[in-house]
């Protein structure tokens, strides 16, 4: 699975959009981009994933650049409850059971 | 509600006293897995199961056992716990093992003294 790079921390004002970047310059054609988050010491929570096209669900939007070397997770109206560590992971259907490598992620602090 | 349920949430025990952490999912998922999370080391996979009666080792299986006798349950067994197994444990499941998103339980914080 390709390696990802994320900023260690970010702040966002409550009610504003939170844009979390992820660099995955070595991504291959069959690798998906997944986003999870972990609030305090709770279990990681799946947010969204995509391959090439931008994706949106009830939690967030995922914007993947045309060359697929980077992506941005957008929380459109951040709330205090969105304060968490956000993990960007790339994974292919050929990964078999190679464990998900969560890395250090981005610690997002939503400020009132 | 679709969920992965772990029990107990907190457990303090002594070295050598056998314990079991239970994990159950109600989503008819084929794939289940156990992770441990330690400061600075992130999440590491202990064991996984692709289906009933099929289990295999992850990255850090030493000192742990698992079983998958039925699809919904995947207990983690520590036959003789040691202090280095003090950690935060997560069970996870997914529809199938290749690329479906993982659903995690809320964790079990284990302290072995």
- Retrieve residue B7's tokens: 């029990």
Q: What is the pLDDT of residue A90?
A: 86
DSSP conformational letter for B106: -
DSSP conformational letter for A82: G
Q: What is the pLDDT of residue B99?
A: 65
pLDDT in tens, B28-41: 999 999 999 998 88
Q: Which residue of B has its CA nearest to A99?
A: B45
Mark which residues 80-109 of A lie under 8 Å from B by CB. 91-93, 95-97, 99-104
List phi, psi (to 5°) of A85. -95, 125
pLDDT in tens, B53-112: 999 998 899 999 999 999 999 999 999 999 999 999 999 999 876 567 889 999 999 999
Q: Cα–Cα distance between B18 and A12 in angstroms, integer?
A: 46
For residue A60, pLDDT over 80 is answered with: yes
Distance from CA of residue A95 to its chain's centroid? 19
Question: Which chain A residues are Cβ-neighbours of B88 within 8 angstroms?
Answer: 41
β-strands B42-51, B76-78 pairing: unpaired
Best-predicted range by mean pLDDT (B12-16, B43-47, B91-95): B12-16
Nearest to A44 among B59, B99, B104 (CB): B104
> Which is it for the CA torsion B92, B70, A97, B95, positive or negative?
negative
CB contact under 8 A, A43 and B107: yes
Q: Cα–Cα distance between A109 and B21 in angstroms, integer?
A: 32
For residue A1, pLDDT over 70 is answered with: no
């Amino acid at each position: 699975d390709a390696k990802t790079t994320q900023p260690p921390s970010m702040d966002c004002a409550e009610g504003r959009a939170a844009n979390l970047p992820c660099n995955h310059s070595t991504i291959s054609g069959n690798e998906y981009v997944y986003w999870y988050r972990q609030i305090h010491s709770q279990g990681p929570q799946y947010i969204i994933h995509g391959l090439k096209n931008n994706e949106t669900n009830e939690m967030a939007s995922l914007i993947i650049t045309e060359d697929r070397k980077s992506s941005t997770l957008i929380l459109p109206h951040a709330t205090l409850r969105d304060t968490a560590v956000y993990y960007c992971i790339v994974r292919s259907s050929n990964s078999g059971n190679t464990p998900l490598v969560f890395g250090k992620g981005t610690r997002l602090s939503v400020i009132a | 509600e679709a969920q992965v349920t772990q029990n107990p949430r907190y457990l303090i025990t002594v070295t050598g006293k056998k314990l079991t952490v239970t994990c159950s999912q109600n989503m008819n998922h084929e794939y289940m897995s156990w992770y441990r999370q330690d400061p600075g080391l992130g999440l590491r996979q202990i064991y996984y199961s692709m289906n009933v009666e099929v289990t295999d080792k992850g990255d850090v299986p030493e000192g742990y056992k698992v079983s998958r006798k039925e699809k919904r349950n995947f207990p983690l067994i520590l036959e003789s716990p040691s202090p280095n197994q003090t950690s935060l444990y997560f069970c996870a499941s997914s529809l199938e093992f290749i690329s479906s998103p993982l659903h995690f339980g809320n964790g079990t914080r284990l302290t072995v003294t």
